[in-house]
Chains A and B, each alone.
Chain A
């Protein structure tokens, strides 16, 4: 599971109001190189919840992303490389995503988050 995907996940349990972002508890993280595509990064940036993304990135050990991003930052190659690395090259293989409101754990196995709910959660 890349952080791009994680940025789109929230607790889908019925009744939960503050189920985003999910906290990451990773037991296995892998780094896999991905092609650097600045245009893709610039297009994706506005679609991200940036604060949640920075937190997730920090949880995986990459704390260098700036809290504020200006149009100039988006042209800065050093920033783009760090952004690229966190967005596409870090994979949470094993671990869990944790609901900030209830503490409910959504397991991640083989890189796939399991968002299936129990009967009483639908």
Chain B
């Protein structure tokens, strides 16, 4: 699948109907999602892998993972409204080996969720402080090989240190950097266990 093709498919996906601000709900921009997913695919973390999308929202990253060759994808999402939209988005495709689970990440440890790769566009912690770090902790519990996550540029060093020391990442680096239209700079960070 080519970059532009994936990008245009993502652009056609439905968005949140009534975005809940406290959950920092917004659809991942098509170009951003495509860049991120292509990067993770090129590093060998998508094709033939089991992928989990934490906080999958409308399903942008989860669906992209399947389209780029993931064997199986699980989307975890807390909000019923988002899940409804994600289900509709999935209907537009045939043979999506994608399941969703409705769950609060605060309670995810009790499940036995494991995947090769976690992809996510987590809340930045602007509404609930520390939300981004909670997502990262969960990501490291679930992922066996790699975590791809979007964060604000301003938190880059803090996250790198946190991942290396507290989460025992083998490496943490910026895989991709893109300026985003809402005047926030997003950095894609790539952690390998």
| Residues of chain A having any CB pair with chain B under 8 Å | 1-2, 4-5, 7-13, 16, 19-20, 34-35, 37, 39-40, 43-44, 47, 88, 110-117, 122
**Chain B at the A interface: SS class:** mixed
Max chain A CB contacts within 10 Å: which of B71, B83, B103, B110? Answer: B110
**Chain A at the B interface: SS class:** loop
Number of contacts between A and B (CB, 8 Å)?
73
Q: Which of B71, B78, B104 contacts A37 (CB 8 A)?
A: B71
Please judge, given known A-B contacts A8-B113, A88-B97, whether A115 and B102 are in contact too, CB under 8 Å. Answer: yes
Q: Which of A10, A34, A110 contacts B95 (CB 8 A)?
A: A34
Which residue of chain B has its CB nearest to the CB of A4?
A: B72
Give min CB distance, B114 to chain A, whole Å: 7
Please judge, given known A-B contacts A10-B112, A40-B48, whether A116 and B104 are in contact too, CB under 8 Å. Answer: yes
B95 touches A12 (CB 8 A): no
A12 touches B99 (CB 8 A): no
Bound Cα distance A115, B101 (Å) = 7
Bound Cα distance A83, B110 (Å) = 27
B97 touches A8 (CB 8 A): no
Which residue of chain B has its CB nearest to the CB of A37?
A: B71
Task: Give the residues in chain B near A112, CB-CB below 8 Å.
Answer: 83, 87, 99-102
